[in-house]
Amino acid sequence: MKKNIMREYFSIPNLMGYLRIILIPVYLYLYIGAETTRDYYIAAGVMFFSFMTDFFDGKIARHFHMITEFGKILDPVADKLTQGAIVISFSFRYPAMAVLLVIFLLKECTMGIIGAWMMKKGYRMDGAQMHGKICTAVLDAVMFIVLIFPEISFLGVNILVVISLIFMMVSFGKYLHMYWNVWNEKFRQPEKCTK
């Protein structure tokens, strides 16, 4: 029993997921308190390390057969918490990021609630859809650009925010459409014929 608990919750990939979550407050402290370009680069270094652990945890899990059910939940949760923290930190410097933060939170909370409800009903999605992966990649790229170029202009940030919002809204719409179709096919009760 102990061995199974250790494998499920304390595998190397899962420990890397915990580390990414622990790095979030460290990054927030460094970024929000930054006063010089060097300070911003240090905060960016912390996030780069977090991104690298995210990149390698999946590879390690697959290569060494360490994929766990808990890890399948932990990894996307750590991803979304990290993305949310970065957008929060940017909103202190760039007002447009506050709009991105609101839409991000609305999308993730809505999808989390619907996904949990669907799981309770017995439906499990086969992982992220391609449009979701593209949306995440665009958001990650935008965050990375703003992180490594701390002197970027407000106009540049506004353009990046608009690009992110377009991909986010398209992905959100597609997920809602997919959930609607699943609900209609699997959970909606057929209408009773009345004479």
> How many of the other CB atoms lie within 10 Å of CB of 137?
11
Residues 11, 68 contacting (CB under 8 angstroms)? yes
Residue 135 sits in the same domain as residue 68: no
Structural domain range at position 159: 95-186
Q: Do 2 and 88 belong together in one domain?
A: yes
* Phi/psi of residue 154, nearest 5 degrees: -65, -35
191 lies in a domain? no
Give the pLDDT confidence of 139-150 residue by residue, as tens digits.
Answer: 989 998 999 999
Q: What is the total count of domains within the chain?
A: 2
Instruction: Please report whether residue 117 resides in a domain.
Output: yes
How far from the centroid of its chain's Cα atoms is residue 15's Cα? 18
Residue 178 lies in a domain: yes
pLDDT tens track for 150-163: 999 999 999 999 99
Q: What is the CATH number of the domain that holds 80?
A: 1.20.120.1760
Residue 17: count other Cβ atoms within 10 Å of its Cβ: 24
Percent of the chain at pLDDT > 70 equals 91
Answer with the one of 44, 65, 93 that is the final residue of a domain: 93
Same domain, 44 and 2: yes
